[in-house]
Amino acid sequence: MDAVRELVEVWTDDGGAPVRMVWRARRFRVSDTPTTLVGPAAWWAPFSGHDAAPGHPPLTIAGWRFQATADDGETHVFDLERVDGRWRVLRVFD
């Protein structure tokens, strides 16, 4: 796993899931079902020091993990997040 922090262009379906992306000047198509990465909802931050018992803090989609394949067959698993309207690669698994 390589940790990276690179901006990428991402195209999504009507539900917001990634379907293709351009990373390092190469086009990759999503070749499996994307999985959501979740984290605490941003609006919860002022309350983060409080106990959320009996449950957990509210969660929101923080990013996506998916396998994507280039036209030449090169395949990676990517973790992406969306920050300030831009997509960013967090990790790449070979």
Please write the tens of the pLDDT for every residue from 36-81.
Answer: 987 766 666 676 676 655 666 767 778 999 999 999 999 999 999 9
DSSP classification of residue 73: S
Domain count, the chain: 1
Mean pLDDT of the chain: 86
Q: What is the mean pLDDT of residues 79-92?
A: 91
Reported in sequence order, the residue ranges of the chain that DSSP labels E, i.e. its strands, are: 2-12, 18-23, 26-30, 35-40, 59-70, 75-83, 86-93
Q: Which domain holds residue 84?
A: 2-93
Q: What is the mean pLDDT of residues 12-31?
A: 96
CB 17, CB 64: distance < 8 Å: yes
Of 93 and 57, the one with more pLDDT:
93
In this prediction, residue 2 carries a pLDDT of: 61
